[in-house]
Structure 1
Amino acid sequence: MRTEFDFSPLFRSTVGFDRMFNLLQHAARSGADENYPPYDIDRTDEDSYRVTLAVAGFRPEELNVVAQQNLLIITGERRGRDDAHADQRRQALYRGIAGRSFERRFELADHVKVVGADLANGLLVIDLKREVPEEMRPRRIEIGGSNVLSGPQAPRQVEGEARAA
């Protein structure tokens, strides 16, 4: 049984979080129907990630990796081959390796960029890195040692001035 959450009460009291709520609704809606090809997502460093898709039987020219703003799209389409005609003596008794076309989408956080993609041993490996611009990184503010209280706004002693005797 699936239950879809209603985020409308949160829309009334927040500003600028609509993208996050859309992602949550999309994640709740998609589920078992998006299971091909199988994949792993690993964190390889503090700001580095790796997405690995099992794409057995696909050639590099049959795969397409597109990075857009906050979105990574991987598609696979088997083109122009008919394995049955390659060897007339060969007869498939069972086909367990899925070779169907697919499209897999990954929502990326802000400032996550695709570094590279590689295909080896039936695994498509896509490396990602978060590159936060320098002006958005936290920076330490130095505290000066100057006496802010010396000057025109320095407090004055009103009563009990010292008298020279």
Structure 2
Amino acid sequence: MSKLTLGSHPYLLGFEQLERLLERTAKSGNEGYPPFNIEQTSHNSYRITLAVAGFAEEDLAITIEDKQLVIRGRQSDDSEERVFLHRGIAARQFQRSFVLADGVEVGEALIENGLLHIDLTRAEPEQVVQTIKIKSGKK
């Protein structure tokens, strides 16, 4: 017996792209840094919060690439100017990606107290009923 996938299930037509998206997301290499929260702030809105302590606004970049919200952080290296007796706070770069569904819009981004907040909203799709006319095969 073969394994059913989204692309091969008889009642799910046209979902091959979603299956590829799931595979790509699983391989994206999103590790555990930086930690983040996702909260639902209303029926149609969400907030992603990333812990970015030590990153300044200019060290962060937020882009939308191929239906993915991508957050990158890269701190400037000023270690040549400073002498550390102990360095326990890592200044490492990161990239976090979140797949966006159709209709999800990225709103405001705000950084406060070492937390980066990104607000998302989802538009309600219109409920459309379409009637398909049946033609007779006889001429």
TM superposition score normalised by structure 2: 0.75
Name the structure with the higher helix share. 1
Q: Which one of 14, 17, 21 corresponds to residue 15 of structure 2?
A: 17
Rounded to whole Å, the distance in 2 between the matches of 1:69 and 1:137 is: 24
Segments ≥4 residues shifted beyond 3 Å: 6-10, 26-31
Report the AA paired with residue 93 of structure 1: H
Distance 1:119 1:7, change over 3 A: farther
**Is 1:92 matched with 2:85?**
yes
Return the index of the structure with the highest Cα Rg. 1
Tell me the CA shift for residue 62 of structure 1.
0.5
Tell me the CA shift for residue 81 of structure 1.
2.2
Rounded to whole Å, the distance in 1 between the matches of 2:3 and 2:22 is: 9
Rounded to whole Å, the distance in 2 between the matches of 1:23 and 1:100 is: 28
Q: Matched residue pairs, number?
A: 126
Report the AA paired with residue 102 of structure 1: F
Q: Over aligned residues, Cα RMSD in angstroms?
A: 2.7
Q: Which runs of 5+ in 2 are unaligned?
A: 130-139
Aligned residue for 1:25, secondary structure, equals helix
Q: Which one of 106, 110, 116 corresponds to residue 102 of structure 2?
A: 110
Aligned residue for 1:85, secondary structure, equals coil
Rounded to whole Å, the distance in 1 between the matches of 2:127 and 2:85 is: 60
Q: Which runs of 5+ in 1 are unaligned?
A: 1-5, 141-165
Checking the alignment, whether the CA contact within 8 Å between 2:7 and 2:14 is kept in structure 1 is no
